[in-house]
Structure 1
Amino acid sequence: MIVLDLGGVLVASDAVMTAVAERLGVSRPALEAVYYGPREAYDLGGADLAYWTAVGAALGATISDGDAAELTAIDATKWADLPAESAEFLAALGDRRTAVLSNAPAHLARTVRTATWSQRFETLVFSAEVGLVKPDPAIYAAADRAYGTTPGECTFFDDKPVNVEAARAHGWDAHVWTGPADALARL
């Protein structure tokens, strides 16, 4: 089973950060400095409003219910927009079994599940749905249960070394994502 992370592997953060920063009326570096701080609670299933309120507060902005709904939609839509390079990579995998393991809030998980490209994956595991986030060792065990695999059957790619190390400790063949060409060579 080839297991891929979403953010930083299948989808780069560029379009997400640009769109959210524009909506908030802040620079991209200002957004990037605060975007990930409260993200773990959000990825564990936290409320959209709580997350965006925290981001707004860090930027000195007040976030209304309507703002949070709009930001949630932008965030989820951009993270679910598969770039051509990733589509080509997935096509190159042919009929190999594939799955996703991603730290992602509930709205993003729902949006990805409705994206046409996600139908190519046998199983998608999102942190908000299992109440665990990478690099918690329990999320890799939960993913194995969802995939119907044992640790030795999974090859995992993630952009964060800490997540790769945790996957290796679980028994997965795990690699830091450096791009499609390297991943294909490893496979």
Structure 2
Amino acid sequence: MTTPPRAVILDLGNVLVFHDNALLFRRLGARAGLSPAETESRLASGLGWTAANRGLLGAEGIRRDVCGSLGVDLPSEEFNTLWSSHFTLHEAVLPRVEGLVGRVKLVLLSNTNVLHAAFLRPKLPVLERFDSLVLSCEVGSVKPEPGIYKEALRRAGCEPRDVAFFDDMPEFVQAANALGIRGHVFTTAEAFDAQLKALGL
């Protein structure tokens, strides 16, 4: 019988919250007078997504970068609201995560930027009960780089074999598996429940 994990590492986007990027492109595009497709294209080529996720761009840097790419100058308050307007909580999964508190070490591992992190933290009070939050913009490394997983392991205080990791991106799960972590692709709250039970949780 497999020993239950001592720690569970969870992704943020499309696990604890949903992010509808198409909605983001529509809303930003509407404000800039651009089609959603043109908005996506400009952001893909212009915005340093990875730079933002590495913490190399702060809140004002992100605003300037996005607005510059779209040819519009939005005040910070309006921009910050738009920039995070595509998130919704994954209500079905949150009680399952709450149920893990106190039973295993809980660590968040997310590729995110300072604005999204600041927006989501107060909306997810369960994060206050996590043992650690490993946010790419704070540690300067992004998935699937080994360094960010090793930082999560260090904070969990566990060997890779004692950790279960859940992420919606298969390539990020594969990177975890390569380090000996028990990686699982997250799909739905119901599947997550079955995965936890299979792990002895």
Question: TM-score, with normalisation over the residues of structure 1?
Answer: 0.79
| Structure 1 unaligned regions, length at least 5 | none
SS of the equivalent of 1:183 reads: helix
Query: Which deviations, in whole Å up to 9, do the C-alpha atoms of 1:89-123 show, x marking residues without a partner?
Result: 32454653222100111233334333323223222
The structure-2 alpha-carbon separation of the partners of 1:85 and 1:57, relative to structure 1 and needing over 3 Å to count, comes to same
Q: Higher helix fraction: Structure 1 or Structure 2?
A: 1
Structure 1 consecutive aligned stretches of length 4 or more whose deviation exceeds 3 Å: 26-37, 52-59, 73-79, 91-96, 110-115
**What's the % identity of the aligned pairs?**
31
Distance 1:148 1:76 in 2: 32
Distance 2:144 2:22 in 1: 23
Amino acid at match of 1:84: E
For CA contacts below 8 A with separation 6 or more, give which structure has more relative contact order: 2
Are 1:123 and 2:132 an aligned pair? yes
Query: Which of the residues 3, 11, 18 maps onto 1:12?
Result: 18
Amino acid at match of 1:47: G
The structure-2 alpha-carbon separation of the partners of 1:168 and 1:157, relative to structure 1 and needing over 3 Å to count, comes to same
SS of the equivalent of 1:178 reads: coil
Count of aligned residue pairs for this structure pair: 182
Are 1:3 and 2:14 an aligned pair? no
Amino acid at match of 2:10: L
Contact conserved, 1:82 with 1:117, CA < 8 A, in 2? no
Amino acid at match of 1:149: C
Contact conserved, 1:99 with 1:147, CA < 8 A, in 2? yes
Greater Rg, structure 1 or structure 2?
Answer: 2
Corresponding residue number in structure 2 for 1:43 = 53
Comparing 27-36 with 45-54, which one deviates more in the overlay? Answer: 27-36
